[in-house]
């Protein structure tokens, strides 16, 4: 077995959380729940379930969240967007989720309904942005609230400074932590975090880690998200196009090394984008030296 990337003391400080998305087919439903059962063995700090823009996955999200709360011991957060919805519509969704046992939310503005690249327009009777949504949620209950953060700035923002100002507004309105967009340049994240702290924002900022299932697909997605793809990733994945086993090993190494480097820079909490698949996440955590609480081999 390879030497773990983290020491026992570093592992003891580590907290991880996972993101899932609601399934779109019976086959994907089975995959999700197999993944939940598998990754639950790591005892994450919490898990989150995504929510489509304008409530496009409202029912699947609600079903998924209800099942997670009813059938697992996982602390479950539901994503919640305000785009395309009035305040009353948002409040009804919150009450439904609260009735299902949800006490944690990931509060997001949401993408423009017309799709990436289009202009965002707030609902005339809705929340104008995520900072207002956080304030509204806090008025409805003592919820634990996560928000988004963008080390390379949101694609629609004028600058990183504008993004950080919005993050401060979200924190001042009661957000408990920020989960970042995925990134691969740890130096960029460190510069961003320094600027965040200089702005007086003290909430935890959890790096969003995306283990690379498919580099070509990731590049297309990253282009829409404003995430840069460093040249070293092409170098690391070179020659793996026709070798799935080698590609998997490289992907696990890249993500584990990214986390280990961030730990040594003082980061202790991480949010992993699982893509509803367990094997790669298992491999990443095993490389770090984490031990499954259920003693199941990863």
* Average pLDDT over all residues of the chain: 92
Provide the domain limits for residue 162.
Answer: 8-288
How high is the pLDDT of residue 298? Answer: 38
Question: CB neighbours of 23 closer than 8 A, spacing ≥ 6?
Answer: 29, 31, 32, 60, 64, 276
- Of the candidates 215, 193, 286, the one whose C-alpha atom is nearest the C-alpha of residue 6 is 286
Residue 228 falls inside a structural domain? yes
Three-class HEC string of 19-30: EECCCCCHHHHH
Evaluated on CA atoms 275, 122, 64, 71, the torsion sign reads positive
Residue 2 falls inside a structural domain? no
Q: Are 277 and 37 in contact (CB under 8 A)?
A: no
Residue 13 falls inside a structural domain? yes
For the stretch 159-216, pLDDT in tens is 989 999 999 999 999 999 999 999 999 999 999 999 999 999 999 999 999 999 999 9
Q: Are 57 and 50 in contact (CB under 8 A)?
A: yes
Residue 116 falls inside a structural domain? yes
Residue 297 falls inside a structural domain? no
Evaluated on CA atoms 2, 8, 13, 15, the torsion sign reads positive
Residue 234 falls inside a structural domain? yes
pLDDT in tens, the chain (298 residues): 589 999 999 999 999 999 999 999 999 999 999 999 999 999 999 999 998 655 556 789 999 999 999 999 999 999 999 887 889 999 999 999 999 999 999 999 886 555 555 566 777 778 989 999 999 999 999 999 999 999 998 888 889 899 999 999 999 999 999 999 999 999 999 999 999 999 999 999 999 999 999 999 999 989 888 899 999 999 999 999 999 999 999 999 999 999 999 999 999 999 999 999 999 999 999 999 999 987 544 3
- Burial of residue 63 (number of CB atoms within 10 Å: 0-12, 13-18, 19+): middle
Please give the tally of structural domains in the chain. Answer: 1
- Of the candidates 55, 53, 54, 62, the one whose C-alpha atom is nearest the C-alpha of residue 22 is 62
We report the CATH number of the domain holding residue 217 as 3.20.20.220
User: Catalytic residue numbers?
Assistant: 19
Residue 54 falls inside a structural domain? yes
- Of the candidates 164, 159, 161, the one whose C-alpha atom is nearest the C-alpha of residue 147 is 164
Q: Are 181 and 111 in contact (CB under 8 A)?
A: no
Residue 233 falls inside a structural domain? yes
Q: Are 126 and 85 in contact (CB under 8 A)?
A: yes
């Amino acid at each position: 077995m390879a030497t773990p990337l983290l020491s026992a003391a570093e592992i003891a400080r580590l907290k991880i959380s996972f993101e899932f998305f609601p399934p779109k087919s019976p086959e994907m439903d089975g995959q999700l729940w197999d993944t939940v059962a598998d990754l639950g063995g790591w005892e994450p700090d919490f898990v989150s379930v995504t929510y489509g823009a304008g409530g496009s996955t409202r029912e699947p999200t609600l079903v998924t969240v209800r099942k997670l709360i009813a059938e697992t011991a996982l602390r479950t957060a539901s994503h919640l967007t305000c785009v395309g919805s009035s305040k009353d519509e948002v409040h009804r969704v919150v009450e439904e989720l609260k009735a299902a046992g949800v006490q944690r939310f990931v509060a997001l503005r949401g993408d423009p309904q017309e799709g990436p690249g289009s202009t965002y327009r707030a609902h005339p009777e809705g929340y104008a942005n995520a900072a207002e949504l956080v304030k509204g949620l806090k008025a409805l209950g003592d919820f634990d609230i996560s928000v988004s953060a963008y080390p390379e700035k949101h694609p629609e923002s004028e600058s990183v400074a504008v993004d950080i100002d919005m993050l401060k507004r979200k924190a001042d309105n009661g957000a408990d932590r920020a989960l970042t967009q995925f990134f691969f340049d740890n130096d960029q994240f460190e510069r961003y975090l320094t600027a965040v702290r200089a702005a007086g924002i003290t909430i935890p900022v959890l790096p969003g880690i995306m283990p690379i299932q498919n580099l070509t697909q990731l590049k297309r997605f990253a282009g829409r998200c404003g995430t840069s793809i460093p040249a070293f990733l092409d170098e690391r994945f070179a020659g793996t196009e026709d070798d799935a086993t080698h590609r998997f090993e490289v992907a696990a190494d890249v993500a584990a090394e990214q986390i280990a480097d961030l730990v040594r820079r003082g980061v202790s909490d991480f949010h992993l984008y699982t893509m509803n698949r367990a094997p790669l996440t298992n491999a990443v955590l095993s490389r770090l030296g984490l031990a499954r609480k259920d003693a199941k081999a990863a």
